[in-house]
Structure 1
Amino acid sequence: MAQLTVKGKIIAEMPERSGTGKTGKEWRSKEYVVVEHGEYAKRVCVQVMNDKIDALGLSVGQEVEIQCDVDAREWNGKWFNSITCWKATITGVSQAPTSSPPQYAAAPPKQPTVSQNNQMFDDKDDLPF
């Protein structure tokens, strides 16, 4: 299996799903969307399974480093990727800024001076007809 490390901020948390597998074993699954930092930031949806959901304690707004396994499986002739988290380190919690940066009004357009106004209206030969 390929391993993947994702560093970024959790921006979304999907509702937990559960069910029973073919062998009768109960399972739980929860997905989180992590956005990487940088100019061309990518989003990755990672899946956390069973007891790891409670053990990792992930939530929206946390800065994390996640270790994942990447695998693909076939169903009805189509292939699907799964990115399953097996380890997560919370590196911080992103805080919203407490105050917004100061807003500056745009400078008013510069008004022509009286001499410029007179010059604009004194040239009567500029008419195209």
Structure 2
Amino acid sequence: MEISGKIIQALEEQSGNGRNGAWRKRDYIMETPGQYPKKVCLTVWGEKIDQFNIQEGIEITANIEVESREFNGRWYTDVKVWRVNSQDNSGSGGGQRTGTQKNDQPDVSTFSDDSEGDILPF
């Protein structure tokens, strides 16, 4: 899944030791664009914190994995980030540049124009 928006807050990094060894994570609050903006808490784990270098105020597109788990009868949901594309074209502001463009829309000129007038492929 993918989500885009502006990072409005970077929370403090958390760390600890679990059954699989030492861990660290950092949460970021993203605000999505649109008429009714939503705030989403994104979580980055381990070495990806340093790799992505997400900063407040930058626009990003994040590839995410949504996972819920049960603990003592309550359910908890994480939005884990596994890849980040920075939308900051100036080269500053952090984020990993993966070479993919934000606009992944197909080139509609390649669709055939049939006589029915509907050129959509679905």
Equivalent residues in 2 for 1:114-125, closer than 5 Å: none
Asked if 1:7 is matched to 2:4, the reply is yes
Query: CA-atom RMSD, angstroms?
Result: 1.1
- Identify the residue that residue 65 of structure 1 maps to in structure 2: 61
Larger Rg: 1
Equivalent residues in 2 for 1:33-112, closer than 5 Å: 33-92=29-88
- Identify the residue that residue 122 of structure 1 maps to in structure 2: none
Asked if 1:16 is matched to 2:9, the reply is no
Q: Whole-Å Cα distance in 2 between the matches of residues 77 and 36 of structure 1? A: 31
How far residue 92 of structure 1 moved from its aligned partner, in angstroms, is: 1.5
Runs of 4+ in 1 over 6 A off after TM superposition: none
Matched residue type, 2:19: K
TM-score of the aligned structures, taking structure 2 as reference length: 0.70
Matched residue type, 2:84: A
Q: Whole-Å Cα distance in 2 between the matches of residues 43 and 84 of structure 1? A: 15
Q: Whole-Å Cα distance in 2 between the matches of residues 7 and 82 of structure 1? A: 17
Could you tell me the percent identity over the aligned residues? 33
User: 1:17-62 CA distances to partner (integer Å, 9 max, x unpaired)?
Assistant: 0000123x11000000110111111111000000000000101000
Aligned residues: 89
Could you list the runs of 5+ residues in structure 1 that have no partner in the other structure?
94-129
Q: Whole-Å Cα distance in 2 between the matches of residues 83 and 19 of structure 1? A: 19
- Identify the residue that residue 101 of structure 1 maps to in structure 2: none
Q: Which has the higher helix share?
A: 1
TM-score of the aligned structures, taking structure 1 as reference length: 0.67
Give the one of 28, 31, 51 matched to 2:27. Answer: 31
User: 1:109-128 CA distances to partner (integer Å, 9 max, x unpaired)?
Assistant: xxxxxxxxxxxxxxxxxxxx
